[in-house]
A and B are shown apart, each in its own frame.
Chain A
Amino acid sequence: MYAAWTQKHKPRTISEIVGNTEAIQKFTEWIKSWDKRIPKKRATFLYGPPGIGKTVCVETLANDLQMELVEKNASDYRTAEAIQRFAGLASQYRTLFGGNRLILLDELDGITGTADRGGVRVLTEIVKTAQCPVVLTANNAYDPRFRTLRKYCLLIEFKNPTVREVMKHLKKVCEGEGIDAEENALKFIAERSGRDVRSAVNDLQALAQGKKQLVYEDVTWLATRDRKDVIFNVLRTILYSKDSWKAKKAVDAADMDPDMLFQWIYENVPYHLTDPHDLTEAMDALSLADIYRRRIRSTQNWSLLRYVLDFMTAGVAVARERTKPSGWIPFRFPQRLQWLSRTKAERALRSEIGMKVRRKCHISSVRAVKEVFPYVRIIFESNPEMAAGIAKWLDLDENMIEYLAGGKKQTKAIIAKYG
Chain B
Amino acid sequence: MSYEMWSEKYRPQSLGDMINQTDIVERLSSFVKAKNVPHCIFAGPPGTGKTTAALCLAHNLYGKVYREHLMELNASDERGINIVRETVKTFARTRSIGEIPFKIMILDEADNMTSDAQQALRRTMERFTETCRFILIANYSGKIIEPIQSRCAPFRFSYLSREDQDRYLKRIIEQENVKILDEGFNAIFEVSGGDLRRATNTLQAAASLDKVIDAETVYSVIGRANPANVREMITVAMKGDFIDARKRLREMILKYGVAGTDIIKQIHIEIFRSGLPEQWKVKLADAIGEIDFRLVQGADEEVQLSALLARLTEAGYELKRGG
Min CB–CB distance B176 → chain A (angstroms): 10
Does chain A have a CB within 8 A of B311? Answer: yes
Across the interface, B208 reaches (CB within 8 A) one of A282, A370, A382, namely A382
A390–B8 Cα distance when bound, in Å, is: 11
Which of B34-42, B84-92, B124-132, B219-227 contacts its partner? B219-227
A364–B255 Cα distance when bound, in Å, is: 18
Does chain A have a CB within 8 A of B243? Answer: yes
Asked if B298 and A389 make an inter-chain contact with CB atoms under 8 angstroms apart, the answer reads: no
Taking residues whose C-beta sits less than 8 angstroms from the other chain, chain A's interface range is: 35 or more
Does chain A have a CB within 8 A of B93? Answer: no
Which of B152-160, B197-205, B272-280 contacts its partner? B197-205
Q: A371-B46, A375-B204, A379-B208 are in contact. Are A366 and B77 (CB under 8 A)?
A: yes
A340–B310 Cα distance when bound, in Å, is: 22
Contacts of A379 on B, CB cut-off 8 Å? Answer: 204-205, 208
Asked if B76 and A367 make an inter-chain contact with CB atoms under 8 angstroms apart, the answer reads: yes
Which of B24-32, B181-189, B301-309 contacts its partner? B301-309
Contacts of A361 on B, CB cut-off 8 Å? Answer: 5, 7-8
For B153-182 the 0/1 string (1 means CB < 8 A from A) is 000000000000000000000000000000
The 3 A-B pairs with the shortest beta carbon distances in the complex, nearest first, are A389-B3, A364-B76, A383-B208
Contacts of A297 on B, CB cut-off 8 Å? Answer: 299
Residues on B lying within 8 angstroms of A by beta carbon are 1-5, 7-8, 11, 46, 51, 55, 72, 74-77, 108-109, 197-198, 201-202, 204-205, 207-209, 221, 224-227, 240, 242-243, 246, 250, 254-259, 262, 291, 294, 297-300, 302-304, 306-307, 309-311, 313-314, 316-318
A10–B307 Cα distance when bound, in Å, is: 40
Contacts of A347 on B, CB cut-off 8 Å? Answer: 254, 257
Asked if A287 and B304 make an inter-chain contact with CB atoms under 8 angstroms apart, the answer reads: yes
Does chain B have a CB within 8 A of A302? Answer: no
Asked if A366 and B314 make an inter-chain contact with CB atoms under 8 angstroms apart, the answer reads: no
A379–B225 Cα distance when bound, in Å, is: 11
Contacts of A387 on B, CB cut-off 8 Å? Answer: 3, 208
Min CB–CB distance B230 → chain A (angstroms): 14
A-B contact pairs, 18 of them (CB 8 A): A276-B314, A287-B307, A290-B299, A291-B294, A293-B300, A339-B254, A360-B8, A362-B51, A365-B77, A366-B77, A367-B46, A371-B201, A375-B202, A378-B205, A378-B208, A379-B204, A382-B209, A386-B1
For A235-279 the 0/1 string (1 means CB < 8 A from B) is 000000000000000000000000000000010001100001101
Contacts of B250 on A, CB cut-off 8 Å? Answer: 335-336, 339
Contacts of A266 on B, CB cut-off 8 Å? Answer: 303, 306
Across the interface, B298 reaches (CB within 8 A) one of A294, A369, A386, namely A294
